[in-house]
Amino acid sequence: MISDRAVGAGCFADMSKISDWLARNRDWARRFRAENPQRASELAAGQAPSVFWIGCSDSRLDPCVVMDLQPGEVFVHRNIANTVPPSDLGVLSAVQFAVGVLRVSRIVVCGHYGCGGIDAALGGDLPGPLGQWVDQVRESVRINQDELDSLDGADRHRRLVELHVCEQIRRLGHNRTVRQAWEEGSLLELHGWVLDVADFIIRPLCTQKHEGGLTYVAGGGSPLPA
């Protein structure tokens, strides 16, 4: 059992850090308003991002940081292993809002090497909600089982990261909201990317537009099947 003293000490330490975070937020907010008064007024009135980012919850993958963006430039949904389950209301509602309300012109699914969710999908069963979520990631393993069985260790992990990203793009290409937007003449584009945490460089893997199916990007990540 955790003692009251241990809990108290931990809470005090956490609150001290939270106070620092709040102070840093106030400093940043003052600087942002001072340096970008017009943009701050525009953001107070509403948002108009052109990109919807579906990324991993990993703490190293904040899209505004890794792409050097400002507030209001990207609409974001993040979950474990940047997954687009066909029946997850969180993802589906975010897609509907991004495409149907915000009218974004691009959806990006960005995975990353060193992803814990991908490692979990290659491992044993997990209990509880986490295990149920990882089962969704395992669908990419099942679809690409033969290729993955030919690889070991880090190569297998990296390959699944790439394949999983492109499977999510494929799913989005069949999404009802996305299909409806295309039928109505939208030029919405889908882009699959991977970030290497060794250098924080993002590399394109695949794209899909209304005119055709999934297209793999030459030189992005490892070669993907046509």
Q: What percent of the chain has pLDDT over 90?
A: 84
Same domain, residue pair 123 and 15: no
Domain membership flag for residue 226:
no
pTM, two decimal places = 0.88
Q: What is the pLDDT of residue 71?
A: 95
Same domain, residue pair 173 and 115: yes
CA distance 8 to 161: 40
CA distance 50 to 80: 24
Q: What is the pLDDT of residue 84?
A: 98
Any idea which residue has 């975070």 for tokens?
A: 21
Rounded mean pLDDT of 137-151? Answer: 96
Q: What is the pLDDT of residue 226?
A: 40
Active site (annotated) includes residue 56: yes
CA distances for 39 relative to 31, 34, 43, 67, 140, angstroms: 12, 10, 6, 19, 41
Is the pLDDT score of 5 beyond 70?
A: no
Q: Give the model confidence (pLDDT) of 60-105 as tens digits.
A: 999 999 999 999 999 999 999 999 999 999 999 999 999 999 999 9
In the listed set 27, 46, 65, which residue is the last one of a domain according to the structure? 46
Same domain, residue pair 32 and 137: no
Rounded mean pLDDT of 136-149? Answer: 96
Phi and psi, residue 197, nearest 5°? -70, -10
Same domain, residue pair 178 and 188: yes
CATH code for the domain of 72: 3.40.1050.10
Is the pLDDT score of 2 beyond 80?
A: no
Q: Give the model confidence (pLDDT) of 171-209 as tens digits.
A: 999 999 999 999 999 999 999 999 999 999 999 999 999
Same domain, residue pair 25 and 137: no
Nearest to 140 by CA among 130, 148, 132, 151: 148
Q: What percent of the chain has pLDDT over 70?
A: 89
CA distance 203 to 66: 12
Q: What is the pLDDT of residue 213?
A: 84
> Which residues fall within 8 angstroms of residue 29, CB to CB, at 6 or more apart?
none
Domain membership flag for residue 221:
no
Among residues 110, 115, 166, 206, the one annotated as catalytic is 115
Active site (annotated) includes residue 64: no
CA distances for 212 relative to 166, 175, 177, 226, angstroms: 15, 15, 17, 13
Domain membership flag for residue 222:
no
Among residues 77, 112, 164, 191, the one annotated as catalytic is 112
Is the pLDDT score of 211 beyond 90?
A: no
Q: What is the pLDDT of residue 14?
A: 65
Most confidently predicted of 8-17, 172-181, 206-215: 172-181
Active site (annotated) includes residue 11: no
- Of the pLDDT bands very low, low, confident and very high (cuts 50, 70, 90), residue 16 is confident
Q: What is the pLDDT of residue 7?
A: 43
* Domain span holding position 118: 47-216
Among residues 58, 158, 159, 171, the one annotated as catalytic is 58
CA distance 211 to 226: 17
Among residues 24, 26, 30, 60, the one annotated as catalytic is 60
Same domain, residue pair 76 and 187: yes
Q: How many domains does the chain have?
A: 2
Q: What is the pLDDT of residue 15?
A: 64
Rounded mean pLDDT of 122-148? Answer: 95
> Which residues fall within 8 angstroms of residue 203, CB to CB, at 6 or more apart?
193, 194, 195, 196, 219, 220, 221
